Amino acid sequence: MSSIWENKQTISGHIASPIDLPRHVAIIMDGNGRWALKKGLPRTEGHKAGVEKIRMISKVLGEAGVKFVTIYAFSTENWSRPKSEVLGIMGILEEVIETETERLHQNGVRIIHLGRSDRLAKKLRTSVNHAQELTKHNQSMTLCIAFDYGGRAEILRAIKQIMADGISRKEIGETLLNKYLYTHNIPDPDLIIRTGGEKRLSNFLLWQSAYSELYFTPVHWPDLEPKQIIEALNEFASRRRRFGSLEKDF
Ligand code: FPP
């Protein structure tokens, strides 16, 4: 059994069975800006600290056996932030892709970008494409990076492409629409974790989150510790998912 499951008893004092493990955990990593302001630092420093946390939390989830992890790194709405912050986040992503891709590849991680790539700087777009191409056959874990991503924009894009492909009305169903989303071939998230205290989805995976379990923590993303992730996994394991039906003993 992987180390996180051996260690988790000492971390949380409560064990979730790996059988109840979410296959796909999606994360809204909120609170970077507030974390930085609290420390008297520029907001971009919060995002830099946030990257360290991505590294650590994806390792914890991978060791726990989670096969798909999605992080919400930049939304279609985040373009309206001050230019310096937008450039800061772009710069961080570019640096991270350049420095981390090889290590992730060695660890068998497949990298997938969810979102628009046409508005990214050419160099960033090239690095993202290279990372996806290099890692496309990896199987230990899939790391989806939602960047210039918005759930509504994703659904509209799918509808437009379906129309452009001349698909007839009777062929359109959930399975077909799924194929036109950025997440085609990625299972829907079982668990969505949002840090930073807000309790909303903020245009994240709107179609895919129909039956996701939601977990909110007030902790700012850069302050998140493995034990809080384990708590989220344990809480997930304790929930009953009915997908709209009744339980058998009802
Ligand atoms: C939310 O905190 C965080 C973001 C919008 C950006 C996160 C981006 C990164 C960590 C860097 C790039 C990503 C990758 C994948 C390497 P916030 O700024 O909304 O915080 P606040 O709510 O406290 O203001």
**If pLDDT is split at 50, 70 and 90, which confidence band does 19 have?**
low
State pTM to two decimals: 0.91
Going across the sheet that includes 68-75, the strands are 109-114, 141-149, 68-75, 24-28, 191-194, 213-216
List the CATH code of the domain at 19-151+188-236: 3.40.1180.10
Judge whether 118 counts as a catalytic residue: no
Supply the pLDDT for residue 245: 77
Closest ligand 1 atom to 71 CA: 15
Asked whether residue 241 carries a pLDDT value surpassing 80, the answer given is no
H helix runs in the chain, sequence order:
3-12, 32-38, 43-64, 83-106, 122-135, 151-164, 174-179, 226-238
The CA 53 to ligand 1 mean position distance, Å, reads 11
Judge whether 32 counts as a catalytic residue: no
Find all residues with CB under 8 Å of 37, minimum gap 6, and list them.
Answer: 43, 46
In whole numbers, what is the pLDDT of the chain averaged over residues?
92
Average pLDDT over residues 49-70: 95
Q: Whose CA is nearest to atom 16 of ligand 1?
A: 93
Neighbours of 84 (CB within 10 A): 10
The span from the CA of 127 to the CA of 93, in Å, is: 10
As given in the structure block, the two tokens for residue 135 are 């890692």
The span from the CA of 206 to the CA of 201, in Å, is: 8
| Maximum C-alpha span of the chain | 57
Report CA 239 to chain centroid distance, whole Å.
21
Supply the pLDDT for residue 242: 77
C-alpha closest to that of 134 among 159, 166, 112: 112
Are the beta carbons of 7 and 223 closer than 8 angstroms?
no
Torsion, Cα of 151, 152, 153, 155 (10° steps): 90
Whether the CA torsion 58, 64, 70, 74 is positive or negative: it is negative
pLDDT in tens, 97-124: 999 999 999 999 999 999 999 999 999 9
Asked whether residue 45 carries a pLDDT value surpassing 90, the answer given is yes
pLDDT in tens, 136-151: 999 999 999 999 999 9
> Would you kindly state where each structural domain of the chain is located, as residue ranges?
19-151+188-236
Q: What secondary structure letter does DSSP report for 77?
A: G
Supply the pLDDT for residue 16: 47
Q: Whose CA is nearest to atom 19 of ligand 1?
A: 30
In the set 7, 20, 32, 78, the catalytic residue is 78
The CA 58 to ligand 1 mean position distance, Å, reads 16
Residues lining ligand 1, judged by CB closer than 6 Å? 29-34, 47, 50-51, 54, 71, 73-74, 78, 89, 92-93, 96, 145, 196
In the set 30, 148, 190, 234, the catalytic residue is 30
Are the beta carbons of 205 and 26 closer than 8 angstroms?
yes
Query: Which of 6-20, 57-71, 209-223 shows the lowest per-residue confidence on average (mean pLDDT)?
Result: 6-20
